[in-house]
Structure 1
Amino acid sequence: MTGQWTVLPPIGWLDEEDGAMVYFEPIRDIFLGFDAAVPSRFVVFVPLTNCFCEFTEMAIYSSETGRWTKVQSEWGYKTILVGNSECVFLNGTMHLATHYALVVTVDTEGKVWREIEMPEHSPDTNQLASIGKSQGRLYAWQIEDDHDCQLYVWVLEDCGGGKWTLKYTVNVPELFGRQPGQDDMSYKVFAIHPDCDLIFLTDEEEMAVSYDMENQKVNATCTFSQEFEDVLPYVPCFAEWASDAH
């Protein structure tokens, strides 16, 4: 990382009719994309939404040009983003999760727009699936809450064809040393390691664990004294994480 702060200019551009600057104030979500090898070069994506949380335009800031540009969205008109940190910047393209079983993508110039359908055999197509990046590929996961709280993890094998492969399944309560169906915890996968098949889960009340999907090993990461807040792992701290099961 550079260790330097960058202050972005207000979101605005020249009006096409009178040439005056037009500024955009209401901001719902901001998505940052950069290559970890060259962190000083980055792109910021800001969907410009209406009162229904639908949008037809995207503001894109480039650190190379130092200015914002506005582009017309080519996604479906009912695209509603999950927001928060549900984004993955991969191969020069921003990937965003939506509320309609789709992952939508746009490149850094706002020229290539795509929609990738979530896996056909996901347990609940109406439930949100989360996305992450690991080992240079896009991952998606979903926890089925209706039955035995099973976690499903897919990897996108073919970006062009939108082909997903189910890679792992696991019973989530068992990772926390509990019997399936005997607790009312709300489980969540909050991160995936960028360099190996390691995910981080929480019950949002008591503890967080890491799970090595390849070796099926669990580690208790931390316990909570108050309600869990969204976090991101600082990867070097977990690069040589032990693989002792509890």
Structure 2
Amino acid sequence: GEDVELFDSCNGLLLFRCSQPGPLEADTPFHYAVCNPATLKWVVLPDRSLASGRGGTARLGFDPSVSSHFHVVEYVLHEDEDDNRVIGVQIYSSKTASWNLKESEWDGEFYLDPFAHSSRSVFLNGFMHMMLNDKTIVVVDMEGTTWRTIPVPSDDDEDVQSGCIDQAEGRLCIIYVHDADAVKLSIWILEDHGTNEWTLKHSVMTPQLFPQNNPRLAEDAEDTEAYTVIAVHPECNNLIYFVYGRVYGRDKTLMACEMDRQKIHVIGNLGHYMEPCLPYVPLFSEALADEP
């Protein structure tokens, strides 16, 4: 059997990387596959070809309101194993059933952890958005002709622990986890792609959300490792989903936070060990184009 690793989710489709079992550090051959779990339809992508560089992580682009075709963007890293600089992208189109290698035209050097498969991307208006270097969102279209960068917003808070990009109500957003005296969640919306203008929409101190009479929540609320943002509700920018629980020694719980009402809703327990979580909404359309 093959080792199958979930890489991404986009509008009802899932992207997997499939490889033969082998030593952890071995450079084993692999291929990508796209699946619609609602219809049980799979598409196995053809092999990629790299003249130079290494394949980094990959992301899925799909918008069923525009086309039944999908794209896969693989970020290509420098061939030196110690240099994780992004030197280009490989873009697969289900319309042409082929890969297209493009050299990076982003202004500046950007780095990507080749094992950071849980880093979120956003496919919006035909562009793939990916946050690199923790300070910049890099953007490319599916033809590899338009390249741009978007600086992330700043509220002069130097205690930002992590950020996660997503989309809500058709706009790009970023969720920050702050680890100052108490943990804070904040969400920013990109109002204007032309001017890169961000607006702070919601901000909440998380310890205020948990019952003080719950020993576990009261103890964990000050643990900055306890919060892993999963997603923003696609139709409501004040509802954030996150995983809560210490990295070691505690069960993890999937929760939702209503930012405007400052309320927490427990969705379910995920157990002691948690793989990276991805948002998924079933797509019951038979459309999954795998032919030109």
TM-score (norm 1): 0.82
Post-superposition offset of 1:148: 1.1
SS of equivalent residue, structure 1 residue 174: helix
Code of the residue aligned with 1:191 in structure 2: it is: A
Code of the residue aligned with 1:54 in structure 2: it is: R
Aligned position for 1:8? 45
Post-superposition offset of 1:214: 3.6
Aligned position for 1:208? 254
**Partner Cα separation in structure 1 for residue 120 and residue 252 of structure 2:** 23
Contact kept, 8 Å, 1:185 with 1:203, in 2: the verdict is no
Aligned position for 2:271? 225
Contact kept, 8 Å, 1:49 with 1:56, in 2: the verdict is yes
2:185 is aligned with 1:151: yes
Contact kept, 8 Å, 1:132 with 1:191, in 2: the verdict is yes
Code of the residue aligned with 2:58 in structure 1: it is: I
**Cα distance change, pair 139–103 in 1 and its aligned pair in 2 (3 A):** same
Root mean square deviation of aligned Cα: 2.5
Aligned position for 2:202? 168
Q: Deviations over 1:51-77 (max 9, x none)?
A: 311022211111111111111111244
Tell me which moved more, 146-155 or 215-224. Answer: 215-224
**Cα distance change, pair 174–180 in 1 and its aligned pair in 2 (3 A):** farther
**Cα distance change, pair 162–80 in 1 and its aligned pair in 2 (3 A):** same
Aligned position for 2:95? 64
**Cα distance change, pair 86–151 in 1 and its aligned pair in 2 (3 A):** same
Contact kept, 8 Å, 1:200 with 1:211, in 2: the verdict is yes
Contact kept, 8 Å, 1:134 with 1:193, in 2: the verdict is yes
- The answer for unaligned runs of 5 or more in structure 1 is 13-21, 237-246
Code of the residue aligned with 1:221 in structure 2: it is: I
Tell me which moved more, 112-121 or 204-213. Answer: 204-213
Post-superposition offset of 1:134: 1.1
Aligned position for 2:58? 30
2:136 is aligned with 1:102: yes
Post-superposition offset of 1:231: 1.6
**Partner Cα separation in structure 1 for residue 265 and residue 162 of structure 2:** 26
**Cα distance change, pair 126–147 in 1 and its aligned pair in 2 (3 A):** closer
**Cα distance change, pair 47–182 in 1 and its aligned pair in 2 (3 A):** closer
Post-superposition offset of 1:206: 3.4
**Partner Cα separation in structure 2 for residue 129 and residue 79 of structure 1:** 16
